[in-house]
Amino acid sequence: MQSGRLPTIRAELNEYEEARSVASLVKELAIGNITLGDQAVLVRTHAQIPPIAEVFKDQDIKFRVASDSESGAGAGRGDEVEILTLHAAKGLEWKIVHLCGVEEGFHPIAHANTELALGEERRLFFVGLTRAEEELHISWARNRSLGRKEAENLQHISRNYLIS
């Protein structure tokens, strides 16, 4: 983040509670000079998108899912939240970023088992941490298909930011 508030970290019960928490925060923050288009939801894999999209649809939050091959996305593109992977977010910025699913198995991805692959995972996590211009909100689910725990990368961020 270039300026703004300190990051927040939220631990939720499961991926749907995580999605509901993000949806609530998106609506809460979309006031005044902040629009839905100023916000993005970033995830590590495409498989993490459906629960978020489902909750956003149920709560009438306008959104678009950006593919990894799209270009020209980013803040200010209409009045809809962008949901995209970290790969698709490279080089883009938004006023507010919600970095979701920051748990073991996704950060780093489970199949990253060499130093080279783990280094790439750390760089990709850094991409997620640096897309926000003003606010960064990090979340993870304690239970997602299988029980999960927070990502090792997240353990390096100060516990002072932990909300729940």
> Is residue 52's pLDDT more than 90?
yes
Higher per-residue confidence, 59 vs 150: 59
Domains of the chain and CATH, by start: 8-161 (3.40.50.300)
pLDDT tens-digit readout, 100-155: 999 988 887 888 889 998 888 899 999 999 999 999 999 999 998 654 566 666 66
Contacts of 122 (CB under 8 A, 6+ apart): 108, 153
Residue 95 or residue 104, greater confidence: 95
CB 37 within 8 A of CB 75: yes
What DSSP state is assigned to residue 64? Answer: E
pLDDT of 147 reads 44
Q: Pick from 31-35, 59-63, 115-119, 147-151 the range whose average pLDDT is largest.
A: 59-63
Contact status, residue 112 vs residue 150, Cβ threshold 8 Å: no
Higher pLDDT, 62 or 68: 62
- In angstroms, the CA 22 to CA 56 distance is 9
pTM of the model: 0.84
Question: Is 60 exceeded by the pLDDT of residue 27?
Answer: yes
> Is pLDDT of 57 > 70?
yes
50 conformational bin, left if phi > 0, alpha if psi -120 to 50, beta if neither: alpha
- What pLDDT is stored for residue 130 in this prediction? 96
